[in-house]
C-alpha cells in the first residue's frame, strides 16, 4: 500500500496504519513539495503555504538503524501533521536564508529530516497505543 507500510493491532483486533521510514544515518530524505505548495519561476522558488495533506493522522515511525552491535536502533514516532510542520518550517527557513534560490538546482525540493528535529518523539509508543484506543471496536 502506498499510504502505509504496516498495520498495528491490539488484543481487541483494532488496527492502525503506520508508515515506516528507516535509515542507516541520522537523516531521512523527503521532498518539500509533499508538504508545501511550491512553484519555480525564473530559477526562484515560491511557497504558497502548507499543502493540504491526505491522511493527516497517519502515524510515522522513523528508525535510525545502527550498524554495529554496541548501539541500539532508535525509534521516533509522530503523526503526519506534526511531520509536515517540522519539514515545512525547516524548508522555509532554509530557503529564506537563500532568498528562495537553490544554489545548484533551482528545481530541487530536496529536504532532510534529522534526528535533532524529532528527538522529542523518541520512543513515543504511547501515540500508537492511544490512537488504537480511539479506533472503534471491530466486534461492536
The reported pTM is 0.90
Res 138: pLDDT: 65
Residue 1 lies in a domain: no
Res 140: pLDDT: 62
Domains contained in the chain, number: 1
Mean pLDDT across 11-39: 94
Residue 59's domain comprises 6-134
Residue 75 lies in a domain: yes
Instruction: Say how many CA atoms lie within 13 Å of 124 toward its Cβ.
Output: 16
Residue 73 lies in a domain: yes
Which one has a higher pLDDT value, 111 or 70? Answer: 111
Residue 36 lies in a domain: yes
Q: Is 127 a residue whose pLDDT tops 70? A: yes
Residue 140 lies in a domain: no
Tell me the helices (H) and strands (E) count for the chain, helix number first: 3, 8
Residue 139 lies in a domain: no
Q: Report the C-alpha gap between 38 and 84 in whole angstroms.
A: 14
Segment 57-109, tens digit of pLDDT:
999 999 999 866 667 899 999 999 999 999 999 999 999 999 999 989 999 99
Identify whether the C-beta of residue 77 lies closer than 8 Å to the C-beta of residue 59: yes
Residue 41 lies in a domain: yes
Mean pLDDT score of the chain, rounded to an integer?
93
Identify whether the C-beta of residue 84 lies closer than 8 Å to the C-beta of residue 117: no
Q: Is 1 a residue whose pLDDT tops 60? A: no
Residue with cell 537553490: 102
Residue 57 lies in a domain: yes
Amino acid at each position: 500500500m502506498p499510504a502505509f507500510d504496516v498495520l498495528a493491532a491490539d488484543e481487541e483486533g483494532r488496527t492502525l496504519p503506520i508508515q515506516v521510514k528507516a535509515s542507516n544515518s541520522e537523516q531521512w530524505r523527503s521532498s518539500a513539495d509533499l508538504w508545501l505548495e511550491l512553484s519555480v519561476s525564473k530559477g526562484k522558488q515560491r511557497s504558497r503555504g502548507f499543502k493540504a495533506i491526505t491522511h493527516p493522522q497517519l502515524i510515522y515511525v522513523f528508525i535510525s538503524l545502527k550498524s554495529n552491535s554496541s548501539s541500539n536502533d532508535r525509534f521516533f514516532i509522530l503523526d503526519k501533521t506534526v511531520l509536515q510542520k517540522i519539514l515545512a518550517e525547516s524548508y522555509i527557513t532554509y530557503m529564506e536564508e537563500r532568498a528562495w534560490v537553490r544554489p545548484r538546482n533551482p528545481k530541487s525540493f530536496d529536504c532532510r529530516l534529522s534526528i535533532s528535529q524529532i528527538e522529542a518523539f523518541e520512543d513515543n509508543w504511547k501515540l500508537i497505543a492511544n490512537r488504537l484506543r480511539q479506533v472503534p471496536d471491530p466486534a461492536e
